[in-house]
């Protein structure tokens, strides 16, 4: 479900509603997520703490608490993090409930359970958890020269290269196809073969596509929901993803669907080379 734009939209939506509020009570499910639910640390560090900041690194959502602990949530494929009245119907697949007061709660719901919940204690640093992650696409580190260096001698197709969080974070299966379409680059191109001009287009279009998606409130294919439960609208702007066989919006050539590294991949054989 969520790539960088969707995670960013959740953070932006939640922030004004939850900053400075106290988490009075924490409840969790006993279901196994991708990582074990840190029950003891939730009780010790999250319950009773006040939320000071909510922000994103890669596709992780971080809540900084007033005791300097961090609650870190990853949405996996189907995770949702949203604000809801505590009286709202009890959904299947709720895994975490943060009660802000007697009437309002932040809820983490994740059908497929590929998501995760982590607590970083005040003695630990959350940056350590993410030491193997590459740069943010909007950061200065994500540059043409950086990509050229990473791509040296790499035969890996550029689509898989861009989806590797060690290269750059936040770009998942939908936006990888979208970015490469906008950049006019075939997804199967071996990374080492790309020219400086192509890398420049990839950097520019990565930022442009992701920013447009954030502005549109993210992409809702089947189940992405914003923090207020509404869907995003970027799916209306998708140029190639999910459009196999349909005409390219630029040149009318049918969009090709292939599978790369086990993931559906879409491109226009005429606009991309």
Burial string for 21-36 (b: 16+ CB within 10 Å, else e) reads: ebbebbebbeeebeee
Smallest separation (angstroms) from DNA to the CB of 102: 29
71/100 with CB nearer DNA: 71
Smallest separation (angstroms) from DNA to the CB of 239: 15
251/261 with CB nearer DNA: 261
Length of the chain: 273
Judge contact between 169 and 175, C-beta under 8 A: no
DSSP 180-205: HHHHT--TTSBGGG--HHHHHHHHHH
- For the question of residue 90 being annotated catalytic, the response is no
- For the question of residue 243 being annotated catalytic, the response is no
Smallest separation (angstroms) from DNA to the CB of 121: 19
Site residues, DNA (CB under 7 A): 1-3, 6, 32, 34, 58-59, 74, 76-77, 92-93, 111-114, 154-157, 160-161, 163, 165, 172-174, 191, 218-224, 232, 261-264
- How buried is 155 (Cβ within 10 angstroms: 0-12 exposed, 13-18 middle, 19+ buried)? exposed
Judge contact between 75 and 110, C-beta under 8 A: yes
Which one, of 176, 177, 64, 80, lies nearest residue 126 by Cα? 64
- For the question of residue 178 being annotated catalytic, the response is no
1/202 with CB nearer DNA: 1
Quote the CA–CA distance of 113 and 34 in Å, as a whole number: 6
Catalytic residue among 8, 56, 59, 64: 59
26/158 with CB nearer DNA: 158
Judge contact between 202 and 183, C-beta under 8 A: yes
Catalytic residue among 2, 5, 38, 137: 2
Residue with tokens 């989806």: 163
Backbone torsions φ then ψ of 5, nearest 5 degrees: -60, -40
Smallest separation (angstroms) from DNA to the CB of 4: 8
- For the question of residue 263 being annotated catalytic, the response is yes
20/259 with CB nearer DNA: 259
User: Where do the H-state alpha helices sit in the chain?
Assistant: 4-18, 39-41, 126-129, 144-151, 158-163, 173-183, 196-215
Give the active site residues.
2-3, 59, 263
């Amino acid at each position: 479900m969520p790539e960088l734009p969707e995670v960013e939209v959740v953070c932006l939506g939640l922030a004004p509603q939850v900053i400075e509020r106290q988490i009075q009570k924490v409840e969790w499910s006993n279901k196994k997520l991708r990582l074990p639910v840190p029950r003891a640390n939730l009780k010790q560090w999250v319950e009773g703490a006040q939320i000071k900041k909510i922000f994103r690194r890669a596709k992780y959502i971080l809540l900084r608490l007033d005791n300097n602990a961090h609650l870190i949530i990853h949405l996996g494929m189907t995770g949702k993090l949203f604000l809801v009245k505590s009286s709202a119907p009890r959904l299947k697949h709720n895994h975490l409930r943060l009660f802000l007061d007697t009437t309002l709660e932040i809820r983490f719901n994740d059908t497929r359970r590929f998501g995760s919940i982590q607590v970083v204690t005040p003695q630990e640093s959350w940056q350590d958890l993410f030491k193997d992650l590459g740069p943010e696409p909007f950061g200065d580190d994500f540059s043409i020269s950086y990509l050229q260096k990473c791509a040296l001698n790499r035969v890996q197709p550029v689509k898989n290269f861009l989806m590797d969080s060690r290269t750059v974070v936040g770009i998942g299966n939908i936006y990888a196809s979208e970015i490469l379409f906008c950049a006019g680059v075939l997804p199967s191109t071996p990374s080492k073969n790309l020219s400086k001009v192509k890398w420049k287009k990839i950097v520019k279009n990565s930022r442009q596509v992701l920013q447009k998606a954030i502005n549109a409130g993210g992409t809702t294919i089947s189940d992405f929901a914003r923090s207020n439960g509404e869907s995003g609208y970027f799916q209306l702007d998708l140029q190639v993803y999910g459009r196999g066989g349909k005409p390219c919006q630029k040149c009318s050539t049918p969009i090709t669907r292939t599978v790369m590294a086990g993931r559906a991949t879409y491109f226009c054989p005429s606009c991309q080379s």
